[in-house]
Structures are given as structure tokens and as C-alpha cells.
Structure 1
Amino acid sequence: MSFEYLDSPKLKKFQRKVTLLSAGGTFLDGYDLTIIAVAMPLILNQWEITPIMQGLLTSSAVIGSFIGAMWFGNLTDKYGRKAMYVIDLLAFVIFAALTAFSQNVWQLIIFRFLLGIGIGADYPISATLVSEFSPTKQRGQHSTSLAAMWFVGAVVAYIVGIVLAPLGQNAWRYMLLIGAFFALIVFYFRVTLPESPRWLAAKGRDAEAKEVMRKITGMEVEIAIPNKPKQKIGDLFSKSLLRRTFFVCGFWFCYAVAYYGISMYTPTILKTVANGSQMMTYIGSGTISLLGLLGAVVGLTLIEKIGRRPLIILSFSGLTLSLIVLALNPVPTLLFLVILFSFAVLFANMGGGILNFVYPTELFPTGIRASASGLATSVSRVGSILGILVFPNLVAAWGNRAALWFFTAIGLLGLLISLWLAPETKGRKLEELNNEFASSLSDQTLMG
């Protein structure tokens, strides 16, 4: 098969470039989604914001990403990976800059929402492009490195917060503006990447696919265009793919509810036991984010060794156990909260937080791969919004322990879904996984 040339060691440098520039997008995702939590205490000091408005401000980018993931995922399958890959970075540059110059909370909410559309779009675009260019045996590591960079972005957000906080009432504006600067750098280099030859071949554009393969391999490669049924977004809910669709949406939803519900309010939670110290709050929150990054790195090193299925089961098991211990402690200290939250996000990110970039791109065929990733991302954004909005309301109504028990139940649900449905795709070529769907679809057509 022509795409076996992508497994050549000679392409490592090019594949690292694709992965690095895609990871630049997820770095921006992590930075932009986390920096609002870092900046929130400073914004609250400057503007009078009601709890409802605070929740809307915190969730506005996540709501935007729900739309961006679904919309751009489908557009990526229709019009190509590269076009959307470059366009969505423009949203990062423009709207990150505009958030920094917002004159009131409504402007900030609107610009954060529009920024969120770009954030959501980048998930299916980057993950799909990396998956389609990566060598089979390192595909998991390449894909999970995207997720790891999300947490690098989150850690950098806290570092930026610590460095810029002393600059006064406009410090939060500088924090948001830095996101636009990072985006401009990534945008500049992304325009140099080619279109995915797998997508071109799936569209019947074999001459263009051959040209891309020639440029990146230095050889003339024959592109075999398989005669398969045309794929459409409705196939995600067909008998052939429904289990896979439910799995990728289900585990990512559970991860997002737990992770975002906890992480977006970590500074607020820690401040209540840090004697009002803003610096201790940032240091504690940054430590938790750093352990979250460590979890992603651990998962990245294990994914091609122990496989996808054991990793995601271990992830949800550790997350659930950590949340149980947290919920059982009625009067936690700052140190206790930092340690247990760190363990919770470490385990969460070890599996659920990185395999969301792997499973959606491995389990679905080329013609609907980005659409599947976009759908799963959108469902996860529903989980993120739920986590963000439910947590403060649960705390207000029943206290921290009730909120933690709620997230414990969500972690347990993610574990059960993984035990029931998580497949093993380690070492399998994308075309092999595609053929399973095509064969199943053909069988259904004959039976019909």
C-alpha cells in the first residue's frame, strides 16, 4: 500500500515538524482555556461581576469550542485538513488580541466565545492531520504529544500569571495578549505544511496525493485508490460504528466533566485554604497543572508499550480513587488539596486526557475521521460546560464534598465505559482499521 512509505525512518524529521506545529495549536488551547482561570481573580477585583456572569465568562470559550469542533470537523473532511488548519489559527490571533482590549465583561465574553470557536476547531484538525502523517508504530506517541502540549500550555498560563500579576490592574490584559503572540508564531510556520495525502486519495485526487508523497519522500509513489462505499457523517451512527462513536464520546465526556470541573476552579478552591494569599494560590494551582503535565508525559511513554485499553482503564481507576479520598476528607488543608488534586489530574491526563487525541482518529475511516473527532470534541465540550457550571452551584448548595462525590460518580462512569468498550488499536495501520468499517458496511448493504 502506498502509505506504507510514511513508516520510513527517513520521514522522522518531517513528521516531527507536523506534530510540533499541530502541538502548537493544542498548546494554545491549553493556554487560552487556563489563562482565564488565572486572570479571573484580577478581573473580579477590577469589575463587578455576578456569579452567573462569572460562570458565563469562564465557560464562554468552552461553549465556542463546542460549535467550532462540530462545524470545523465536518468542514475539514469536506475541504481538506490544511485549509482549516491555517484558518483556525487566525481566530486565535485575532480574538485572543481582542480579549485583551475588552472594555467590559460582555465584550470579554463575546471575544472569548469567538476565540473558543478556533480552539474547538483545532482539536479535530490537528489530531487528524498528525494521525494521517504519523508512522504506524509511533502514531500513538505522536498523537498523545498533542495532548501533552495542552498541559504545557496550562502550566505556562500559571507561570505567566505569577510573572505578570505584580504589574497591577491591567496584568490580566497582558496575560490574554500573550496568547495572541504565541498564536502568531504558530500560524507563520503552519502555512508551510502540505495537505494530507490520505485525504486527497480518499477524495479521488490521486495526482495531488502522489505529488505530496513525492515531495515528502523524494520518490514516485503509486497511490492505490480503493473502491469503497462513500463515507458520510451519518455513518457515525450506523450499526458498524455506533459502539465506537459512543465510546469516544462517552469516555471523553466523563474526562471533561471531571477535569474541567476541578481545574477551572482550582485557584478559587485553593484560595479558601491559602489564607487569601494570591501567590500561594497560583503556586498550588501551578503545581497541580505541572503534575497533570507529568501524567500526560507518563501516558505518552506507556501508550505504545502497554497499549491504549490498559492505559485508559488505569487512568479512570486512579482518577476515581483520588476523588474518593478527597471526598472523604471533610476539612482538607492546602497541602492535602494540592497533593490529591495533583494525583487526580495526573491519572486523568495519563489516559483520558491524551487518548482523546488518539482513539477518535484511529477508530474512524478517512472520509469521516475529522467529523468523528469533531463530534467527540463537541460532546466533551458539553461535559466541560457541565463541569464548569455544576461545580460552583453544587458547592454553593451542598458544599465541596457533595461536588466531589458528583465528580467521583462521573469518574466511575468513565471507568465502566472503558471496561466495556475500549478497543486495542496499538500497532494497527489506519487502512486496516478503515477496512473493518468498509467490510462491515458492505455486509450491511448486501443484507439490506
Structure 2
Amino acid sequence: MNLDHYDSARTRKFQRKVTLLSAGGVFLDGFDLTIIAVAMPMIAGEWGLGAAEKSILTSSAIIGSFIGAVSLGNLTDRFGRKAMYIIDLLAFVLFAVLTAFAPDLWWLVIFRFLLGIGIGADYPISATLVSEFASKKGRGRLSTSLGAMWFAGAVVAYLVGLLTLPLGDFAWRAMLLVGAIFALIVFAFRVTLPESPRWLVAHGRHQEARDVVEKITGVRPSRDEVQAEAAEPAQAPAQAARLVSLFKGRQRNRTLFVCGFWFCYATAYYGISMYTPTILAPFTQGNHVAVIVGSGIVAVLGLVGSVIGMNLVDSWGRRPLIITSFAGLTASLVVLAMTVNPHLIFLIVLFSIAVLFSNSGGGILNFVYPTELFPTELRATGSGLATSVSRIGSILGVIAFPNMVAAWGNNVALWVFAAVGLSGLLICVFMAPETKNRSLEEINA
């Protein structure tokens, strides 16, 4: 049950509302995953953390998000978009508060892990809901705006870090607590959204789907129109949310593509971005403000890249955008890897170029391709699987990078990530489809 036939100011206003509230959850993802990088130098100093303990703490939320994505994405296809859409925000609020008052490292790791489950769940839920309410002409821009909000959350994390520095020993706890405040605000508005009419139709609930469409558009669709768009309504509930279906027939290549490019992007991006403050710290003589400002500049350029991609995705297209993205990321990492004894400014500039390219395609199309390439009954499940695979890449990047740096130095580590970027480029060249200006039903017909 799509809204392509109801293009009006009223419908577009509702679509913007859905996108904004979904983007609020993605903003929280970016904030909560980045704020630990901002706080890490202070936590490490207070508790005397070594490299292994830093890796465990940094990866704890990412490991949780792996579990949340693969399990709760499945539940979203079974029990509905709205229920899981609200529940995962409750996890944000609760566990963000607990992380701020963790008494020691291991309690902090546990609370960050549980927070990560909510983070992982929000990716497939938010992206699926936006794509199912969007029209085909504006779907790319609306969906990629979610990716842009992730990087906005990362930028705000650095701003919050600067503002809370004067709090001294309580600074890092205040940084984590701010995430709970943001989550509570988003939760209050999310409860007002209806269920996805596409999900209702796929589960045979045609009358409810008509009610939702009428509420959104002011026009009540006919019974015949709703039933005509129902793809196997009698079988959909029994077939929904089955991971095995993602590896059958034409879904196999689609699944391999979205999992493959997202894995490569996440490995390279998280491996570097989560340690940007740590990488820059030796060049600032222990100046926390300089570290946060330098890392914040990198984050801002990442946000700029996502905005550029957001404005090109529906005109230039998905395929050329993602290929250019991986090509620029790979080239930047190669230059970094070839540079011995770099200057602080050089590092900031090259890291900024790398994240600008990576986020202009790979960092935002991970909210587009997974929701476009899977049918309604498998959409959240497929998005959840892709998210969980990307989290494996994130975990590898976060754990591997500091240990490779310790063993072989920055340059060798950067060569490894350049190879990962090249792998992502090849996957996109040979497998990325073009889906612009096509409805979800047309893509999956």
C-alpha cells in the first residue's frame, strides 16, 4: 500500500514528520557511538585502561547493536514497525542513564552493550518505516537524510564533549547522560506515529491500512485498490521474517551486495573514526580541547559528505554515488598509508577527505539499498541482517585497528583499511544496482 498516488502537501508534511522522528533515533545512534570516543581519554585516565580494555569498552555497544539488529529486525517484520519503533527508544533512555552512573569499567561495558541492542534495532526499524511511507520520487532523499543525521549526532557528540569539559572528573559521565535526555525527547514524539500501511496490507489487515492512509492523506483508498497492492496477503504472515528467504533466488545477490558493501564501509569507517581522538592525541601534547576540536572537524566534514550525497541520490543515482564514495575513501587511505611522520594538520585534512567521500555514499546508502531491495515481508529482516553484518565489520575495525597500530604502526594499519575500501569498491562496481525513480513494488515485482 504505497502513497505514490496521494502526492499532496498534507502527505508530504506527514512524510517529513516520519523522517524527522526516525532521524532522531539515528541521531542518537551517531551520538551514543561517538561519545564514547570523545570520553575515552578521560575514562582511560581515571581508570587506567590499557589498549585491550579500551577496545572492549569501545566495541561493547557495537557488539550489542549486532545482536539488536539481527534479532529485533526480525521481530519488526513479525509484530509491526510501530511497536519496536517505540520499545527500542526506551532502551536508549534507560541504559544511557545507567552508563552515566556506572561504578567501574565492567558495569560500563555491560550497560553500553545493552544500549547497543537498542542502537542496532533502530537501524532497520527507522529505515524501513521511512521507506514504506515515502513516495518513489523522494524516497532516496528522505532515506539518506537518516544517514546524514547519524553524522550530525557524531558532530554534536564533540560539541557536548567541549561543553562538559569544565565539569572535570564528572565530564565524561555528563557526556553519556546527555544521550538519555535526547532519547526521552524523541520517544515523546514517536508514540504519535501510526503503523505502516504496507506492513498492515502484507499481514492481511486491509481495513486498518485504509484507515491509516485516510488519516495521512485525507483520502480513503478503495477496498479494491488496497487488495490489488497486497502481495500474497494470505501467505505473508507465515513467510515473514525468515532469514533463509534472504538467500533464495534473486534475493541472494541482493543480500550479498547490501551486506558486502556495508561491511566494508563499517570496517574502514569505524576502525578509523572511533580512534580519531586517540590518533590525534600524541600530536597535541595532551591538550584535550585540541583533540576534540581536531576530531570534531573530521566529523563535520563527514556530515558535509552525507549532505552532498543526500542531494545527489535522487538525481545522479545510487550506483554512481556509491562507486565514487568508495573510490575516494580508498584513495585517501592509500595517501595516508604512504605518508611517514605526518603533521597534525595533514592528518586532519586527509581523515576529513576520507570520511567526506565515505559518508557521501556508503554512509548514507546503507539506509536506502537494504530497504529498497527487499519485499515488504522481508524488509526489516533484510535490513536487520545487513546491519548486523556491518556491525561485525565495525567490531573488527574497532578491535583490530589499535592492536595493528601497536604491533606494526599506523601505516600498516591504514594499508589494511585501504584494502577493505578497495574490496567495497569492487563489490559496488560489479553488484550495485540503480533503483532511483522506481517504487518499492516495481523494484520487487
Q: Could you state the TM-score of these two structures normalised by the residue count of structure 2?
A: 0.96
1:399 matched to 2:403: no
Query: CA 1:48/1:275 → structure 2, altered by over 3 Å: closer, same or farther?
Result: closer
Query: CA 1:130/1:140 → structure 2, altered by over 3 Å: closer, same or farther?
Result: same
Q: Is contact 1:86-1:191 (8 Å) kept?
A: yes
Q: Is contact 2:262-2:386 (8 Å) kept?
A: yes
CA distance in 2, matches of 1:340, 1:419: 24
Matches within 5 A, 1:146-225: 146-222=146-222, 223-224=226-227, 225=229
Partner deviation per Cα, 1:1-48 (whole Å, 9 max, x = no partner)? 764334444311111100000000000000000000000111112112
Deviation, 1:145, is 0.3
Q: Which residue of 2 aligns with 1:335?
A: 345
How many equivalent residue pairs? 435
Q: Which residue of 2 aligns with 1:286?
A: 296
CA distance in 2, matches of 1:428, 1:50: 51
Q: Which residue of 2 aligns with 1:316?
A: 326
Q: Which residue of 1 aligns with 2:263?
A: 253
Q: Is contact 2:62-2:394 (8 Å) kept?
A: yes
Matches within 5 A, 1:415-426: 415-426=425-436
Q: Which residue of 2 aligns with 1:411?
A: 421
Q: Is contact 1:366-1:434 (8 Å) kept?
A: no
Deviation, 1:418, is 0.1
Q: Structure 2, unaligned stretches of length 5 or more?
A: none
Q: Is contact 1:82-1:195 (8 Å) kept?
A: yes
CA distance in 2, matches of 1:45, 1:337: 24
CA distance in 1, matches of 2:7, 2:365: 21
Q: Is contact 1:255-1:411 (8 Å) kept?
A: yes
Matches within 5 A, 1:382-393: 382-393=392-403
Q: Which residue of 2 aligns with 1:381?
A: 391
Q: Is contact 1:7-1:134 (8 Å) kept?
A: no
Q: Which residue of 1 aligns with 2:230?
A: 226
1:351 matched to 2:358: no
CA distance in 2, matches of 1:321, 1:260: 17
In structure 2, the residue corresponding to 1:394 is in which secondary structure?
A: helix
CA distance in 1, matches of 2:312, 2:219: 34
Q: What amino acid maps onto 2:192 in structure 1?
A: T
Q: Is contact 1:256-1:381 (8 Å) kept?
A: yes
Give the share of equivalent positions with the same residue, in percent. 65
In structure 2, the residue corresponding to 1:168 is in which secondary structure?
A: helix
Match of 1:295 among 298, 305, 319: 305
Q: Is contact 1:8-1:135 (8 Å) kept?
A: no
Q: Which residue of 2 aligns with 1:141?
A: 141
CA distance in 1, matches of 2:172, 2:405: 26
Q: What amino acid maps onto 2:69 in structure 1?
A: A
Query: CA 1:227/1:40 → structure 2, altered by over 3 Å: closer, same or farther?
Result: closer
In structure 1, the residue corresponding to 2:444 is in which secondary structure?
A: helix
Query: CA 1:257/1:207 → structure 2, altered by over 3 Å: closer, same or farther?
Result: same
CA distance in 2, matches of 1:72, 1:20: 22
| Segment drifting more, 394-403 vs 225-234 | 225-234
Q: Which residue of 2 aligns with 1:364?
A: 374
Q: What amino acid maps onto 1:431 in structure 2?
A: E
1:127 matched to 2:127: yes
1:268 matched to 2:278: yes
CA distance in 2, matches of 1:255, 1:319: 9
Q: Is contact 1:6-1:134 (8 Å) kept?
A: no
Q: What amino acid maps onto 1:204 in structure 2?
A: G
Q: Is contact 1:200-1:208 (8 Å) kept?
A: yes
Q: Which residue of 1 aligns with 2:88?
A: 88
Partner deviation per Cα, 1:67-102 (whole Å, 9 max, x = no partner)? 000111000000000000000000000000000010
Q: Which residue of 2 aligns with 1:442?
A: none
Query: CA 1:3/1:13 → structure 2, altered by over 3 Å: closer, same or farther?
Result: closer
Q: Which residue of 1 aligns with 2:102?
A: 102
Q: Which residue of 1 aligns with 2:15?
A: 15
In structure 2, the residue corresponding to 1:221 is in which secondary structure?
A: coil
CA distance in 2, matches of 1:144, 1:173: 31
In structure 2, the residue corresponding to 1:129 is in which secondary structure?
A: helix
Q: What amino acid maps onto 1:14 in structure 2?
A: F
1:43 matched to 2:43: yes
CA distance in 2, matches of 1:214, 1:154: 37
Q: Which residue of 1 aligns with 2:56?
A: 56
Query: CA 1:109/1:6 → structure 2, altered by over 3 Å: closer, same or farther?
Result: farther
Deviation, 1:52, is 1.5
In structure 1, the residue corresponding to 2:4 is in which secondary structure?
A: helix
Q: Which residue of 2 aligns with 1:440?
A: none
Q: What amino acid maps onto 2:337 in structure 1?
A: A
Q: Structure 1, unaligned stretches of length 5 or more?
A: 436-448
Q: Which residue of 1 aligns with 2:71?
A: 71
Partner deviation per Cα, 1:358-413 (whole Å, 9 max, x = no partner)? 00000000000000000000000000000000001110110000000000000000
Deviation, 1:227, is 5.0
Q: Is contact 2:3-2:135 (8 Å) kept?
A: no
Q: Is contact 1:7-1:136 (8 Å) kept?
A: no
Deviation, 1:50, is 2.8
Query: CA 1:9/1:411 → structure 2, altered by over 3 Å: closer, same or farther?
Result: same
CA distance in 1, matches of 2:37, 2:79: 35
